[in-house]
Amino acid sequence: MFIRTDDKITTTQTSIFITDSVLGAGILTLPRSVIEAAQTPDVWLSVIVGGFIVILVALVMVKLSQQFPNHTVYQYAKRIVGTVPGGMLSVCLIIYFIVIAGFEVRVFAEVTMYYLLEGTPIWAIVIPFIWVGAYISSGGINSIARVFQIIFPISIFILVLSYFLSIRIFEIDNLRPVLSEGLVPVFKGLKSTVLIFTGFEVIMNLVAHMQHPEKAVKATFTGIGIPFVLYLMTVIVVIGGMSVDSVLNSTWPTIDLLRSFEITGLIFERFEFPFLVIWMMQLFCNFTSFYFNASLGISQVFGFKIQTVIFGLIPAIFITTLLPERINEVFKLGDSIGKMGIALFFLVPVLLSFIFIFRKKVLKQNV
Amino acid sequence: MITLWAAILSKLPDWKMFTQAFLSMFIAIGIYYVNKFLRSLVINKGTPAQRENDGKQQADHSNLTVDYEDNLNAIKQVIGSNSDVHFREFEATKLRARAVLIFIDGLQNGEQINGCMMRILMSDTGANLTDISPLGLSTYLLDKVLPVCEAYEAKELHDLNQSILMGCTALLIEGMPSALLIHSSSMKNREINEPSSEALLRGPRIGFTEVLSENTSMLRRQGCNESLEINSYEVGARIKRKLVIAYIKDIVNPDLLQEVRDRIETIHMDFIAESGYIEQLIEDDYLSPFQQAHNTERPDRVISGLLEGRIAILLDGTPFALIVPVTFSMLLQSPEDYYDRWLPGTFLRLLRFFAAFLALMAPALYISFISFHPGLIPTELAVTIIETRQGVPFPSLIEVLILEISIEILREAGIRLPKPIGPAMGIVGGLIIGEAAVQAGIVSPFLVIVVAVTAISSFSIPVYSAGITLRILRFGGMLCASVLGMFGTILFFLILCGHLSKLKSFGVPYVTPISPFRFSDWKDLFIRAPLPLMKKRPKMMKTQDKKRMS
């Protein structure tokens, strides 16, 4: 077929979609939040353990979604538990996505106002951002995935390059001693490292849009593997470069790390500027992903046209964004998003899988 | 969940926030409907024109009769009032019948008419031809008498008139119910020159001309190939013109071919003046700043496009051929990339990508750095720039606009100027005005560098119309940057990415192979891989024959 009429995405696009949904505000906030919880430099172990937990969770979601080809979670939830309970589960998921979207925009606005546009009113930053997100979302999943594909290589390149350059202030002693206080802090840190991967829930919708849904497991592995590696690098590089104490005292430790060294001879002496640029684009992808998934959910649960929903969500996201008044509340909101994520994990994929298996194996029903 | 609800309930947003929220929604909806309305303006226009056109064509279809006088009068009635239509009546001696040659002044080859037609028909050979029936006469003349290779019979009056006007010589003989059309046109046309819009250092110096048959023959002459197919169409309702589509039969994707044919058949316009008309009438998205058909004057470029599985559209009367579908990467490629060795080819191509980036973004970056984030550039540089800008009375947007617009005017003027004055004006405009503007304190010297680099960069783009696209978009980038600084520039880039990823040219995504990602096509994107590595045709065209080399 030369002219494609189906709105499907390839396996690579799925991986990038997942990566872009996971890799967002966490790059800036992860080092501090995880050290606040654990208080030791061993937090990189927490990231590793957290990553594995998340991959297992994602596998459950993929396996469940693969049982219902061409159905998103909003559609198969209804088939498993009935229209009304399924719809309620979907509404929880939609609210979750809207809140994350609002959170991402807020973090974006905070960073922009702090580093780039001091004194600019917050609505002037938030509204154009949401508009561009709406423009891209209205193109359907295929054009969203394509935009991600254009931005992805640029951002990964700059990200890795800035980390690589910060090796000059890296001191291995900042990461030592390993496991001086035993494994307890590692598990304490786990709480915030699992939260950092929030967003991979979109996989439950993506499987339905894949050209080859049978490759969803592979796509998920790559899609979570890339942010996993990048988060691990972030934590190691930031702690190695700044030490635990200074990370605790900084609002955006990753940017502070990049501000703390200069490379003479390059056009940009400090790498914080290109880093901020790609981080903004990355956060935009992150936001668009949640925006689209929330709109898709509303349109599938309530039967609206997706274009109408995209417009309707503009004020909803705008208000969510401006709800927290101070930056501490923003971070608190981030924590509650993580908790919501865990609750939703038990509510949606686990509960649904149990009921699905129960109905299929025990009651021998054809779901 | 509970903490979240508590947080929400304790701080219900005030009315100001609600106003902003809903205002933002309504503005977005407004933009959406304006866009939809603009698109609907174009789509609904195809059908009525077509119907009207069909009705007109059926009106005057009548055949020639046996009666010579009637035929002649009928022709004279339609085209006889033109002063350049000549009727040369004579007696065809050996047929013992009256005959007339009808031709247009300046379109026919006089020697051929004199030498072949008149001499043979008027000379008395003595042979008795009167026993040939009038119906068989035309066949007899074509088969035995006339030594002309392009001659055929016309029975229908309307067609006959058209052919005469197109440059054929018509021969009407008493008693013959049809006319003979002798193709003796010798229209004067210019010589084959090197294409001025796409000059190359290395590569063939041949360019298309205004004559379609010459252009198609140039394609044929690229090399012997029996699967190169050239199909002819007629476009234009009032003034008809020939249009051909060329493709390689066993490479092109049949669905694409059908799509191109369908779109060409929807063209309903009274006159197609240039291939630019075709481009605009068959493109996918008329609101896009990007071109969706590639225009070129170079036969080598067309033929390599055909070998990639693309389709060429050539129109009579213009040296510009169209290649469809077009992808973004094509706009920054030059045939020279392939003629040189791969290392220089790659270098030049990377340079062009960089130049395109500069041409698009440099002024926007200047504005956002100077007006919004001087802290982000190295301190010494920032201090230097700000020192030189101290006397400038305008904000950086106005400063940039002054210089950018004058450069654009200068460029536009440079095209119109006679050749001997052109370079001189360039020097006067570029150097003197720039220097004087700095001296006068209207702009800063650093900006002159930025604008000059931008202008030079946009010249390095090998496709002229793509250069214009970037020049237009540059102003959009500047406006975004002047409102929101770096953030605005990023938003501009994101909108551009969003638009490009939605845009398709004949069903092919515009930014493939970057996205949808096709790694094997990257060999011919930013780099130009060594030829032995490029064994396969681009995947994006979904060709029938995948291999270039065995």
pLDDT tens-place string over residues B388-432 = 888 888 888 998 998 899 888 888 888 888 877 777 777 777 778
Name all domains of chain A by residue range, CATH numbers in brackets.
11-350 (1.20.1740.10)
Q: Which two tokens stand for residue B433?
A: 């005005």
On whether the CB atoms of residues B208 and B130 are closer than 8 A, the answer is no
Question: DSSP per residue over A270-333, as a string?
Answer: STHHHHHHHHHHHHHHHHHHHHHHHHHHHHHHH---HHHHHHHHHHHHHHHHHS--SHHHHHHH
Calculate the average pLDDT of chain A: 87
List, in order, residues 6 or more apart from B127 with CB less than 8 Å away: B94
Return the C-alpha torsion angle A172, A174, A176, A182, nearest 10. Answer: -140
Return the C-alpha torsion angle A34, A35, A37, A40, nearest 10. Answer: 130
Using CA atoms, how far residue B198 sits from B300, B470, B506, in Å, is 12, 18, 25
Model confidence pLDDT, tens digit, residues A61-111: 898 898 888 888 898 888 888 888 889 989 999 999 999 999 989 999 998
Q: What is the model's pLDDT at position B351?
A: 94
Most confident region among A342-351, B167-176, B279-288 by mean pLDDT: B279-288
Per cent of chain B over pLDDT 90 is 24
Q: What are phi and psi of B507, to 5 degrees?
A: 85, -10
Q: Do A269 and B491 touch (CB under 8 A)?
A: no
Amino acid at residue number B82: N
**How far is the C-alpha of A331 from the C-alpha of A122, rounded, in Å?**
17
Q: Three-state SS for B77? A: helix
Does the pLDDT value for residue B87 go beyond 90?
A: no
| Least-confidence region, from A8-17, A272-281, A339-348, B489-498 | A339-348
Is the preceding peptide bond at A253 cis, omega within 30 degrees of 0? no
Does the pLDDT value for residue B124 go beyond 70?
A: no
Does the pLDDT value for residue B546 go beyond 70?
A: yes
Model confidence pLDDT, tens digit, residues B312-353: 999 988 999 999 899 988 889 888 889 989 999 999 999 999
Does the pLDDT value for residue B526 go beyond 50?
A: yes
Q: Do B501 and A116 touch (CB under 8 A)?
A: no
**How far is the C-alpha of B25 from the C-alpha of B20, rounded, in Å?**
9
* CB count in 10 Å sphere of residue A95: 18
Q: What is the model's pLDDT at position B482?
A: 93
Q: Which two tokens stand for residue A180?
A: 């001086």
Q: Do B11 and A323 touch (CB under 8 A)?
A: yes
Alpha helix ranges (H) inside B44-133: 46-57, 68-79, 110-112, 119-122
Q: What is the model's pLDDT at position B222?
A: 83
Distance from the Cα of A18 to chain B's closest Cα (Å) equals: 16
pLDDT band for position A229 (cuts 50, 70, 90): very high
**How far is the C-alpha of A341 from the C-alpha of A335, rounded, in Å?**
10
Mean pLDDT of B260-274: 89
Q: Do A322 and B17 touch (CB under 8 A)?
A: yes
Distance from the Cα of A3 to chain B's closest Cα (Å) equals: 5
Which residues numbered 362-391 in B keep a CB inside 8 Å of some CB on A? 372-373, 376-379
Mean pLDDT of B364-378: 86
Q: What is the model's pLDDT at position B354?
A: 94
**How far is the C-alpha of B175 from the C-alpha of B321, rounded, in Å?**
45
On whether the CB atoms of residues A17 and A223 are closer than 8 A, the answer is yes
ipTM: 0.92
**How far is the C-alpha of B210 from the C-alpha of B192, rounded, in Å?**
10
Beta-carbon-side half-sphere exposure of residue B319 (alpha carbons within 13 Å): 17
pLDDT band for position B477 (cuts 50, 70, 90): very high
Q: What is the model's pLDDT at position B13?
A: 65
Report which of B537, B529, B545 is spatially closest to residue B338, judged by C-alpha positions: B529
Q: What is the model's pLDDT at position B55?
A: 46
Does the pLDDT value for residue B296 go beyond 50?
A: yes
**Residue burial B359-368, b: 16+ Cβ < 10 Å; e: rest:** bbbbbbbbbb
Q: Which of A10, A281, A324 sits opposite B516 (nearest CB)?
A: A10
Using alpha carbons only, give the angle B308, B312, B315 rounded to the nearest 5 degrees: 170
Give the DSSP H or E segment for B288.
none
pLDDT band for position B126 (cuts 50, 70, 90): low
Q: What is the model's pLDDT at position A79?
A: 87
Model confidence pLDDT, tens digit, residues B432-473: 888 888 888 888 888 889 998 998 898 888 888 898 999 999
Report which of A306, A1, A280 is spatially closest to residue A143, judged by C-alpha positions: A306
Using CA atoms, how far residue B214 sits from A179, B209, B218, B537, in Å, is 81, 7, 6, 28
**3-state helix/strand/coil string of B295-321:** EECCHHHHHHHHHCCCEEEEECCCCCE
Give the DSSP H or E segment for B150.
none
Does the pLDDT value for residue B525 go beyond 80?
A: yes
Q: Do A127 and B24 touch (CB under 8 A)?
A: yes
Q: What is the model's pLDDT at position B51?
A: 46
Q: Three-state SS for B515? A: coil
Query: Across the beta sheet with B151-154, what order do the strands follow?
Result: B85-92, B97-104, B169-173, B179-182, B151-154
Calculate the average pLDDT of chain B: 83
**How far is the C-alpha of B526 from the C-alpha of B164, rounded, in Å?**
52
Q: Which of B1, B506, B507 sits opposite A340 (nearest CB)?
A: B1
Question: DSSP per residue over A74-141, as a string?
Answer: HHHHHHHH-HHHHHHHHHHHHHHHHHHHHHHHHHHHHHIIIII-TT--HHHHHHHHHHHHHHHHTTHH
Model confidence pLDDT, tens digit, residues A283-293: 999 999 999 99
**How far is the C-alpha of B437 from the C-alpha of B445, rounded, in Å?**
9
Q: With an 8 Å Cβ cutoff, is B526 touching chain A?
A: no
Amino acid at residue number B458: S
Q: Do B498 and A143 touch (CB under 8 A)?
A: yes
Q: What is the model's pLDDT at position A4?
A: 67
Mean pLDDT of A158-166: 88
Q: Which of B7, B488, B498 sits opposite A139 (nearest CB)?
A: B498
pLDDT band for position B44 (cuts 50, 70, 90): low
The residue ranges of DSSP E strands in B110-239, in sequence order, are: 151-154, 169-173, 179-182, 228-235
Q: Which two tokens stand for residue A169?
A: 């202030």
Alpha helix ranges (H) inside B58-133: 68-79, 110-112, 119-122
Does the pLDDT value for residue A330 go beyond 80?
A: yes
pLDDT band for position B47 (cuts 50, 70, 90): very low
Report which of A222, A182, A212 is spatially closest to residue A58, judged by C-alpha positions: A222
**How far is the C-alpha of B213 from the C-alpha of A262, rounded, in Å?**
65
Question: DSSP per residue over A327-343, as a string?
Answer: HHHHHHHHHHHHHHHHH
Model confidence pLDDT, tens digit, residues B199-241: 888 888 889 998 888 899 889 888 877 889 999 998 888 888 8
Model confidence pLDDT, tens digit, residues B48-63: 444 444 444 454 567 7
Residue B372 with chain A: CB contacts under 8 Å? 116-117
Q: What is the model's pLDDT at position B179?
A: 83
Mean pLDDT of B346-370: 93
Q: What are phi and psi of B89, to 5 degrees?
A: -95, 140
Q: Do B20 and A117 touch (CB under 8 A)?
A: no
Q: Which residues pair with B185 in a beta bridge?
A: B108
Q: Which two tokens stand for residue B300?
A: 């080598």
pLDDT band for position B164 (cuts 50, 70, 90): confident
Distance from the Cα of B15 to chain A's closest Cα (Å) equals: 11
Return the C-alpha torsion angle A355, A357, A360, A364, nearest 10. Answer: -90
* CB count in 10 Å sphere of residue B60: 11
Q: What is the model's pLDDT at position B7?
A: 64
**How far is the C-alpha of A72 from the C-alpha of A74, rounded, in Å?**
5
Whether the CA torsion B121, B125, B131, B132 is positive or negative: it is negative
Q: What is the model's pLDDT at position B290?
A: 93
DSSP B120: H
Amino acid at residue number A171: E
Best of A116, A272, A321 to substitute, by most chain B Cβ atoms within 10 angstroms, is A116
Distance from the Cα of A2 to chain B's closest Cα (Å) equals: 6
